Amino acid sequence: MEKDTILVVDDSDIICSIVKGILETPSLHIYIVHSGEEGIIAAKKLHPTLILLDIIMNGIDGYETCQILKSSDETKDIPVIFITGNNDSDSVLKGFEVGAADYVSKPFIPEELKARVKVHMQNIKIQRELQFLMKELKEMAVTDYLTKLYNRRYFADQLQVYVTQYMLPIFLLLFDIDNFKKINDSYGHNAGDMVLVTVSNIFKLLLREEDILSRWGGEEFMICLPNISEEETIDLANKLRKEVSKYTFNCDNNTFQCTITGGIIKYDRSISAEKNYSNVDQALYLGKSSGKNRCIYNDPILESTN
Ligand code: GH3
Ligand code: MG
């Protein structure tokens, strides 16, 4: 387990060793410096969980040190507890005004110091967990749980950014796995899931950074290709199709292959996104009804099974 670090900034050796004696445990590292300047450098380098900061020091005092820490993105979220001999209300208020989370008065009551540090350490842990959960929630809102590709909603939002902010040509590809129901029926649902993940990975490897790849539905993938020519789009679509058809899937001692069919359109900005989706779906439908394992460009309709 990673140790938490408490940074103690105090110009008195005696105070530092008292604090160390009270707080140090096997899971807590106490790092000591003797000036505000050193405290700022150490805070940036160590990213401590908490800072205990003396107010009256040579050089920059505790208030100024705290202000500097709070004005930097790297250190602004580290809670600062002032260590103060001045516990008149003005000094305490000034401490809170410059961003302190709390204060402890000298001389220390060891149990009080421990208790205050413990409360702030717990708050920090809760905050970290919340931040982690928020990040996970945000990811879950835009991605598909199985393939980790963007979901339909995120795709639609990103496509609108390309459509409205850039005047580059955009092509849409819609792929659907052929006879996917048969894969599930013959080899099981897990094999079907594995195919979905593998096809996603093949696509990811061959697409460019700026392309948007999404899981559009059950076994459908929608891809947005910005700034690309018609010819390049058709070549890329067929490359994706061929790479999938060459791949040998292996699941529970079964080996099998599968193919995909794709519809291609040039995005038409004069009609709605929904109408564009419907057009690319129609191109895909033509591919399915004319034999599958092919890509169909809907305008002009070009069929390619090469
Ligand atoms: P076609 O070639 O015309 O596309 O036929 P198909 O069998 O691929 O299409 P159909 O619509 O008949 O069946 C699609 C199947 O995909 C049915 C559904 O149970 C399955 N499916 C949808 N989502 C998932 C998934 O997340 N995992 C698995 N394993 N199967 C899924
Ligand atoms: Mg299908």
Structural domains in the chain plus CATH codes: 4-134 (3.40.50.2300), 152-305 (3.30.70.270)
Tens-digit pLDDT profile for residues 170-229 = 999 999 999 999 999 999 999 999 999 999 999 999 999 999 999 999 999 999 999 999
Buried b (16+ CB within 10 A) or exposed e, 147-177: bebbbeebbbeebeebbeeeeeebbbbbbbb
305 pLDDT above the threshold of 80: no
Confidence at residue 306, expressed as pLDDT on a 0 to 100 scale: 53
Tens-digit pLDDT profile for residues 111-122 = 999 999 999 999
178 within ligand 1 shell (Cβ under 6 A)? yes
87 pLDDT above the threshold of 90: no
Q: Supply the residue whose CA is at minimum distance from atom 29 of ligand 1.
A: 192
133 within ligand 1 shell (Cβ under 6 A)? no
Q: What is the position in ligand 1's atom list of the atom closest to the CA of 178?
A: 2
88 pLDDT above the threshold of 50: yes
Tens-digit pLDDT profile for residues 239-292 = 999 999 999 999 999 999 999 999 999 999 999 999 999 999 999 999 999 999
Q: Supply the residue whose CA is at minimum distance from atom 17 of ligand 1.
A: 181
Tell me the best of 145, 215, 219 to mutate to test the pocket of ligand 1, counting ligand atoms within 8 Å of each CB and taking the most: 219
Confidence at residue 285, expressed as pLDDT on a 0 to 100 scale: 97
Confidence at residue 300, expressed as pLDDT on a 0 to 100 scale: 47
Q: Supply the residue whose CA is at minimum distance from atom 13 of ligand 1.
A: 181
Ligand showing the shortest atom-to-Cα distance for residue 182: 1
The one catalytic residue among 2, 219, 220, 274 = 219
Task: Supply 154's token pair.
Answer: 């995120």
pTM (predicted TM-score): 0.74
**Whole-number average pLDDT of the chain:** 94
Q: Which amino acid is at 59?
A: G
Buried b (16+ CB within 10 A) or exposed e, 241-257: beebeeeebebeeeeee
